Amino acid sequence: MMNSGNGRLPQVAYFCMEYGLDSRLPIYAGGLGVLAGDFLKAASDLKLPVVGIGILWRNDYTEQFINEEGWPYDLYPNYDFDFVKDTGVSVKVQVAGKEVTCKVKLVDQYGNAPLYLLDAGFEGSEEGWITRKLYGGGSSERIAQEIVLGIGGVRLLRALNINVDIYHFNEGHAVLAGIELIREKMAQGMTFEDAWQATRRQVVFTTHTPVEAGNEKHDHRELERMGAYNGLNYEEMRRIGGDPFNMTEAALRLCSAANAVSNLHGHTARTMWRHVKDAAAIISITNGVHVPTWQSEDIARAFIKGEDIWQPHMKEKMNLIKYVHEHTDARFNPEILTVGFARRAVSYKRSDLIFRDARVIDSLLKEKKMQLVFSGKAHPDDVEGKKIIRDLVLMDRKYRDAVVFLENYNMETARLLVRGCDVWLNNPLRPLEASGTSGMKAAINGVLNLSVVDGWVGEGPQHGVSGWLLDTHHDNINPEKQNLQDLQALYRVLIEEVIPTYYERRDDWLDMMRASIDMSHYIFSAARMSREYFELMYCRAACEGEKTAFLTAGGYLCNNRFRS
Ligand SMILES: *Cc1c(COP(=O)(O)O)cnc(C)c1O
């Protein structure tokens, strides 16, 4: 373990529904999972006492490809994951009155802290449906999955004899772990009230969802029928999560410390959950990315040595162009300004914004001022999202060598894109982006952000120095007005600033690339983020008796970092 001064760091069990460690282990859907994977890698680098708890999804989220008509369709390969280690341990949970056995698998080969995965889909199991599809199915499937993650997760820690000081719920999906912690204490003779308060001192919670509809709610009858009450009664469950049972509210009442994932999101989250009585306070810990995973080694070396970074940048750009050529019929030109945009296909991200004035975009593309590369997946059941992708594919077909859509967005394509573009475009409606992390991955590679001010961007790039900001007013203005203002700002900044700098002032461009790397490579790293989790959340929340020791250790950890 890391030298931690006079104190001991608390042992943390980190719960998350998805993990993005490597594209060969597809048990993630997007940003939440990649963040969890990056956190486990940083914890491993820094030798911090963290174990991850998750689910071995047999069918992935979706592998999504494009058909002749330009519509996305989904494939669900059945992975056997024989490279994931079997611990030989299994745990049992009750789902809808039936006993479900989950095998405990271990992943530690991606430079990550140990990740234990619950698997109900082993050969011979009749309950494989529960851990088949990440975010698939309806409310009862979701509750079953959350019983496995939360209740099964606590039981696997007991079965493996891992002594945990702090349980971290990364998003509300893990809330039933709190219910299991309460049940355990009541089984030892504590009252519900005492068990609840004692559990709160062991739990911290991170919220990621600034959109009301994204916060999961469950019907109490369904929760009870599925077995999520876990020995508690209606009144006790209602006091924790309300009626209907709101997973985020429940998490806020089951923890002693909570955080949002950027400073701006902190403001949004505190307003959003102000009405929840007896909730933990919400602080901000801005997300970060695992630099060794996402940063080009050539770029890093050139940056550190103060050497030319254009050459390594062009090497990354050529890798992207080669991939584009191999996977589409388009031939990109390495001399042309390349703008990337890869996001989940949801309407607030406005992936089509740049196309909304056909006259302007038409001339920019035809005069070869820039080329555009898009990627992203829609949720398999989301027709609106699939339409967004189809619209992008139609643009790809209309502007053959100037616009491409790369199908089946995953960590591998993300890596190529955030290293090989010149500019990373981000224009969601505000304030709907909690943090965003792909822009951080771009920034550490000297790929310049062109972005509205939301999420992490509020703390990151400076206009004209380390990126460009579409800094229009958005307080209390409706989406139509935001669309108009942002579209005008986007074209203005592109035409008056980004394009001239790229083609006419290459030295200024290189200065901006270096400023971008300098600005981002520590403060938007998962190393900084995981230190802050220890300092501001785990050590402070850790149990009474050892509080001072934990605080000393947390302070030591944070005073010995290389933050400027
Ligand atoms: C980084 C990453 C994300 C998250 O990107 P956002 O900017 O938060 O949308 C999603 N998917 C993959 C594959 C990633 O690598």
Q: How far is the CA of 437 from the centre of ligand 1 (A)?
A: 6
Cβ of 411 closer than 6 Å to ligand 1, yes or no, is yes
Q: 339 C-alpha vs ligand 1 centroid, how far in Å?
A: 16
Q: Does the beta carbon of 49 lie inside 6 Å of ligand 1?
A: no
**CA–centroid distance, residue 438 to ligand 1 (Å):** 5
Instruction: Say if ligand 1 is within 6 A of residue 438 CB.
Output: yes
**Any idea which architecture 291-520 has in CATH?**
3-Layer(aba) Sandwich (3.40)
Taking the domains of the chain in order of start, what are their residue ranges? 12-289+528-562, 291-520
| Amino acid in the structure at residue 360 | V
> Which residues, including other chains, have CB under 8 Å from residue 529's CB and lie 6 or more apart?
39, 42, 285, 286, 287, 288
- Measured in Å, residue 540 CA sits from the centre of ligand 1 at 30
Residue 128 three-state SS: helix
Residue 430: which of 471, 488, 491, 377 has the closest Cα?
471
DSSP code of 198? Answer: H
pLDDT, residue 548, reads 59
Pair 407, 374: CB distance under 8 Å: no
436 C-beta closer than 6 A to ligand 1? yes
Which residue among 23, 41, 261, 437 has the greatest number of ligand 1 atoms within 8 angstroms of its CB, and so is best to mutate?
A: 437
The pLDDT value given to residue 559? 55
Residue 410 Cα to ligand 1 middle (Å): 8
User: What sign for the dihedral angle of Cα 16, 21, 25, 31?
Assistant: positive
Q: Which atom of ligand 1 is nearest to the CA of 414?
A: 15
Ligand 1 centroid from CA 61, angstroms: 14
- Which pTM was predicted? 0.95
Q: Check if 12-289+528-562 and 291-520 are the same fold.
A: yes
The answer for 312, left when phi > 0, alpha when psi is -120 to 50, beta otherwise, is: alpha
pLDDT (tens digit, 0 to 9) for every residue of the chain, 564 residues total? 444 455 789 999 999 999 999 999 999 999 999 999 999 999 999 999 999 999 999 998 999 999 999 999 999 999 989 899 999 999 999 999 999 999 999 999 999 999 999 999 999 999 999 999 999 999 999 999 999 999 999 999 999 999 999 999 999 999 999 999 999 999 999 999 999 999 999 999 999 998 877 789 999 999 999 999 999 999 999 999 999 999 999 999 999 999 999 999 999 999 999 999 999 999 999 999 999 999 999 999 999 999 999 999 999 999 999 999 999 989 999 999 999 999 999 999 999 999 999 999 999 999 999 999 999 999 999 999 999 999 999 999 999 999 999 999 999 999 999 999 999 999 999 888 899 999 999 999 999 999 999 999 999 999 999 999 998 766 667 888 899 999 999 999 999 999 999 999 999 999 999 999 999 999 999 999 999 999 999 998 885 445 556 666 666 665 554 333
| CB 37 less than 6 A from any atom of ligand 1 | no
Q: Look at residues 213, 524, 470 and name the one whose alpha carbon lies nearest to residue 350.
A: 470
CB atoms within 10 A of CB 191: 10
Atom of ligand 1 nearest to the CA of 342: 9
What's the pLDDT score for residue 263?
97
CATH of domain 12-289+528-562: 3.40.50.2000
- 517 with 303: CB under 8 angstroms? yes
pLDDT of residue 541: 84
Please tell me the predicted confidence (pLDDT) of residue 350: 95
Give the E-state strand segments of 130-210 in sequence order. Answer: 166-170, 203-206
414 lines ligand 1 (CB under 6 A): yes
pLDDT at 2: 46
Helix, strand, coil percent values for the chain (each to nearest 5): 45, 15, 35
The finding on whether 343 has its CB within 6 A of some atom of ligand 1 is: yes
553 lines ligand 1 (CB under 6 A): no
Q: Which atom of ligand 1 is nearest to the CA of 344?
A: 9
Structure tokens at 536: 């501001």
Q: How far is the CA of 247 from the centre of ligand 1 (A)?
A: 23
pLDDT of residue 558: 55
pLDDT for residue 218: 97
